[in-house]
Amino acid sequence: MTVVRLGDLRRTVAATAVGNMIEWFDFGVYSFTAVTIGRVFFPEASQSAQLLSSFATFAAAFLVRPLGGLFFGPLSDRIGRKRVLVFTVITMSLGTFAVGLLPGFAQVGVWAPVLLLLARLIQGFSTGGEYGSAMTFITEHSPDRRRGFVASWLEFGTLTGFVLGASLVTLLTSVLSTADLDSWGWRIPFLVAGPLGLVGLYLRLRLTETPAFEHLETRAPKRSAGLRREAKELVRHQRRPLLVCLGLVLVLNVPSYMLTAYLPSYLSAQLGFSQNTSLIVVVVVLVILMVLLQFAGRLSDRVGRRPVMMTGCVLLVVLSVPAFLIIQQRTVVAVFFGTLLVGLMYLCFDSTEPGTLPTLFPTRVRAGALSITYNISTSLFGGTTPLVAAALVDGTHSLIAPAFLLVAAGLVGGIAVYFAPETARRPMPAAPPVVATEEEAAAIRGGAPAS
């Protein structure tokens, strides 16, 4: 049995959450500077082609995420979670920081978009190894009876990063002229990733390896866990957990990207709201979710992960269409409550899956299996959600068409939840029990870990 110290747990939470924050800070910044980036790097194209080129460069990061997961995940199973997390937080922040230093098309011509693409590929590749290893790290450090609550702080970092990035861009857009924004203002949010990366590096260098990985090292210190061997292990013995993981990640990411990536542009382009109003509505909803996140994580520790996730699947099937019908009323109040309803459905997965997905796999292949599966599902179903939703609206000429994408995600997710094992309050597979002392457990129940 492993007894975790409260101080170690706090450092673990802070160090893992900050990496997720950097990832989604980048996501929020790039998403909401896409128009400006199009003007700076693709000035010779039409306005619509500029935006398409900007988002195509953004999408390139998603294409290499599975490659990053394929590289970093098995490496994390072989050399340890901490070493991989130190490397990914450096490269991830450098990829974002580099964008803020790039010359525009006016300075270097066609090399400008080439360099932008290279920076995005670096960021995407490192992100592919970040989340799976971070999720594995925080769950392997968590007390079994508090895993849902502790792991939910990883997603607190997600929401914090997006809110910070989106808010910073909104502020700059409000106070700077278009000329100043195109000249230098757009660089500021990307350059902020540099100091954030240094903070993440400092926190991660102070971490200790997880009890589960150390237990595995003690039992098999000379094991050879190469990529080929791990791939055979996954295909032969982990097919069912892999399929369950794919489905769970799908139902997590479709409402996530619907809320953060599609709804802001949907509200402005389809319903006629200003960009700032659309963004503010989404940001306020995300702040509310940040407040509720740990309560939902605690709930999953009490009643189990499967009931909370199945509730989310049922809500997606039943309430997605009503949510978009409410949004169609085209008042700020109606749009807010319709968007909040989508956010609450997303909360059912956002609060529980960080404590669920790593428990699907044994320690020897956990980070690799999770990184590969998570990034494949995210690339196929998460990053494509805005595109599919927009295509549904264009193809059907119905403004509620995106709701049916949420319904489909709820149906697929329901099947995955049905076949998923319940792991709340139980040790992780092939790992000793992890507990906290009574004093530490009381402190965790009474207050959030410092971040």
Which CATH number is 279's domain given? Answer: 1.20.1250.20
Is 4 in a helix, a strand, or coil? strand
CB 377 within 8 A of CB 131: no
Residue 442 lies in a domain: no
* Residue 190 domain-assigned (yes or no): yes
The predicted-structure confidence for 307-338, as pLDDT tens digits, reads as follows 999 999 999 999 999 999 999 999 999 999 99
Give domain status of residue 213, yes or no: no
Q: 387 and 99 in contact (C-beta within 8 Å)?
A: no
Domain encompassing residue 129? 2-208+233-423
Q: What pLDDT sits at residue 221?
A: 53
What's the whole-number average pLDDT of the chain?
88
How far, in Å, CA of 209 to CA of 173, rounded?
43
Look at residue 393 and tell me whether its pLDDT is greater than 70. Answer: yes
Measured CA distances, 114 to 108, 109, 184, 240 (Å):
10, 10, 20, 41
User: Is the residue at 225 inside a domain?
Assistant: no
398 phi, psi to nearest 5 deg: -120, 130
How many C-beta neighbours within 10 Å does residue 415 have? 14
Overall number of domains in the chain: 1
Q: What is the largest CA-CA distance in the chain?
A: 65
SS3 content of the chain, % helix, strand, coil (to 5): 80, 0, 15
Residues 41 and 351: their CA atoms lie apart, in Å, by 38
Query: Is residue 100 within 8 Å of residue 30, measured between CB atoms?
Result: no
State what percent of residues in the chain have pLDDT above 90: 56
Instruction: Compute φ and ψ for 43, nearest 5 degrees.
Output: -70, -25
38 belongs to a structural domain = yes
For 177-227, write each residue's pLDDT tens digit. 889 998 999 999 999 999 999 999 999 998 888 888 887 777 665 454 556
Position 445 in a domain:
no
Q: What length is written for the chain?
A: 451
Is the pLDDT at 439 greater than 80, yes or no?
no
What local confidence, expressed as pLDDT, does residue 154 receive?
93
Q: Which residues pair with 3 in a beta bridge?
A: 435
Q: Which residue has the tokens 């949907």?
A: 266
Residue 244 lies in a domain: yes
**Maximum average pLDDT range among 69-83, 171-185, 208-222, 336-350:** 336-350
* Beta partners for residue 78, in sequence order: none
